[in-house]
Structures are given as structure tokens and as C-alpha cells.
Copies of this chain bind each other. A is one copy, B any other.
Amino acid sequence: MFGAGADQHAGMDSALQTAEPPARGRLQYLVVRDSLAEEIARGTLKPGARLPSERSLQVTLGVYRGTVREALFQLEAEGLIYRKERSGWYVAPPRVTYDPSRPEGFTAWVAAQGRVPQTETLSKERVEASELVAPILGVRPGAPTFFVRRRRHIDGRACLVEHISLNPKLFPGLLERDLDVSLTGVMRRDYGRVVTRAEVSMYPCALTGAQAEDLRVKSGTPGLCLIRTCFDAAGAVLEYDQEFWRHDIIRISLAVAMQA
């Protein structure tokens, strides 16, 4: 046996059997990370494929499990792999590209990229407008609003949950409808309301609490929070939408005209 930490920091040629001229791969977990990343890039591990278990990697690579996990976390942060809780680690599929200036709904643009979309309504209810939402929807705090929670999937994998707030006066009877479809489509066809403008804001976040549970990811998983307020041509707020995305599945892309 070798003493704890005697040559734990590689740099000498102990780390892995794969003879490499490390350069930056001095740290063991970086070596593990890069070797896994290379297998993914090379295609030895294809999207959707399952990685060997942590314990088998531990044995194969001759490092302790924490080091393997650190490497896995890095790859997860890069969006190269993801985990199904207590099931295993899998190679992540390519990102989908979302253009918030396009009028197509989720279902349409995901399908257009050759992927399989699916929407699931988790809850729909009447709630009192919060201090935050009331001024946005243009109602008094405490006034009735519609609140819809939906989960959306791509290729069978849950990739976002969204919280939608609406003004009931604009959409009477909305909650009685099937909402597993494009909401902008329902607004247009059934209520004659068309989104012509939106204010979009987004920031990297962590998925915690209810969001993490809804997406079945570990609390603290990195995510992207995307908030959208949709207006019609008259300037009425049609929808206030908070979307919590897995960080590894989306790319935002749009053309912007510079303001004068």
C-alpha cells in the first residue's frame, strides 16, 4: 500500500496507465475527465449511451470514487453527460436551439430539429395574484389569476418546467381546456389573441426544491431560468412565463436589431 497522499498529485507518471504528456492533465480528476470526454468526442460513447458505473470506473482507473465523481461532475457541468438519479450516467444528446423571436410553439420548433417533443400539464389552478405577478399582469395583488405548471420533454427526457400566469379576464374558461398543447396556438385560435412582442430575460441558475423534483434532478443541478412576458399588438400582457431549463439541453439563438 502507498501512504495517503504520497504521490497523490500526479505530475509524475502515476496517474493513469494511458501514457500522456499531461500538459494540463496533472490533476487526476482532470485526466479522468479528459479521457472520458475524448471517448465521447471520438464516438466510442454515443449520445444516450450509459457510462460504466462509478465503482467500475474506480477499479478500471485505479482512483478512489470521489475522484471519479469529480470528473463526472465536470462533464455534467460541460453538458457532455447527465445523470438519471440512482440509475447511472449517460452521454448527453446535442442541444436544441431556441429562438425566442419565432412565433412557433415548443412542439413545432423541437420537431423541426428532428427531436420528439412532449408536454405534460402538472397543474392548473386559480390563485391570487402575488405582489410580483400582479403589476405585470395589470391586476391588483390578490386578484384572481390562472396559474399553470407544465413539464416538457425532448426525446422522452424532462428538460424544463414552466410556470405560467395569465389574466383570467382575457382567457375565460382556459383552465377547462387541454393545455398539453401550444398555449400561443390556443390563444390565437380560441381567443383571437396574438403575441407580437415579448420581453425576455434569462440567467444561469440552480435547479432546487420543487423545480429539481419536477425535473427529477438532484437539487443544485445547474439550470437556465428564462422569463418571458408576452404582449399583443395592443400592449396587453397575454402571458407571464417562467421556464426552468436543464442547463445542458438548450442554446438560445436570435437576431437582434440594434436600437438607435
Type the 1/0 row for A212-230, where 1 means its CB is closer than 8 Å to any CB of B. Answer: 0000000111111000000
| Copies of this chain assembled into the complex | 2
Cβ of A205 < 8 Å from any Cβ of B? yes
Q: In the complex, A19 Cα to B196 Cα: how many Å? A: 51
Query: Are A224 and B204 closer than 8 Å at their CB atoms?
Result: yes
**In chain A, residues 109-131, which have Cβ atoms closer than 8 Å to a Cβ of chain B?**
none
Kindly list chain B residues whose C-beta atoms are within 8 Å of the C-beta of A97: 201
Cβ of A209 < 8 Å from any Cβ of B? yes
A202 to chain B, nearest CB (A): 5
A214 to chain B, nearest CB (A): 14
Query: Are B257 and A199 closer than 8 Å at their CB atoms?
Result: no
Q: In the complex, A95 Cα to B201 Cα: how many Å? A: 12
**In chain A, residues 168-224, which have Cβ atoms closer than 8 Å to a Cβ of chain B?**
195-206, 208-209, 219-224
Query: Are A257 and B197 closer than 8 Å at their CB atoms?
Result: yes
Query: Are A250 and B203 closer than 8 Å at their CB atoms?
Result: yes
Type the 1/0 row for A56-97, where 1 means its CB is closer than 8 Å to any CB of B. Answer: 000000000000000001100111000000000000000101
If A74-B219, A200-B255, A204-B222 are given as contacts, then 13 extra A-B residue pairs at C-beta distance below 8 Å, sorted by A number, are: A74-B208, A77-B206, A101-B258, A103-B259, A103-B260, A197-B258, A198-B255, A198-B256, A199-B255, A200-B252, A202-B253, A203-B251, A204-B223
Nearest first, the 8 A-B pairs at minimum CB distance are A77-B206, A204-B247, A201-B253, A74-B220, A203-B251, A78-B206, A101-B256, A222-B222
Instruction: Show 27 residue pairs from A and B whose CB-CB distance is below 8 angstroms, ordered by the A residue.
Output: A30-B219, A73-B220, A74-B206, A74-B219, A77-B206, A77-B221, A78-B205, A95-B203, A97-B201, A101-B257, A101-B258, A101-B259, A102-B259, A196-B257, A196-B258, A197-B258, A199-B253, A199-B254, A200-B253, A200-B256, A201-B251, A202-B251, A203-B250, A204-B247, A204-B248, A222-B247, A254-B256
